[in-house]
Amino acid sequence: MMNQQLLTALASVQLDPMSWTIVAVGIGIVFMSLLLVYFFFRYILTFILNFKLRSFARRKGIDPSEADTARTMMSGEVNAAIAMAIYSYFNELHDVESGVITIKRVSKNYSPWSSKLYNMKNL
């Protein structure tokens, strides 16, 4: 019994430096991939969009230096107008309710077909 515990303790000590290495490499890979995705969306995607906008401006006969870039295309006023339009659109989708609930009592005629008395068996 004591021998098994000693072997288990020795095995865990031998695996410990390797497991910390695996954890460090895993965390490093995750952060490097997050950094790569950040740089892609921040710089590379903006560069591609600006390139397409400039090539579109050349085809239309506009000076590429006067064409809008991805950063200057939408100002704060445009974003605020879009947000206000979306807000007012979603608020108009709902009906205006009065908040009053009316309950109408409907009188039902007696029907022997729905009576529980006839569903019971006499023993």
Q: How many domains does the chain have?
A: 1
pLDDT of residue 38: 92
Q: Is residue 67 part of a domain?
A: yes
Report pTM. Answer: 0.38
**pLDDT tens-digit profile of 32-56?**
999 999 988 888 888 888 777 777 7
Q: Is residue 113 part of a domain?
A: no
Average pLDDT over residues 83-94: 82
Q: Is residue 46 part of a domain?
A: yes
Q: Is residue 7 part of a domain?
A: yes
Contact between 38 and 14 (Cβ < 8 Å)? no
Q: Is residue 84 part of a domain?
A: yes
**Structural domain range at position 53:** 2-93
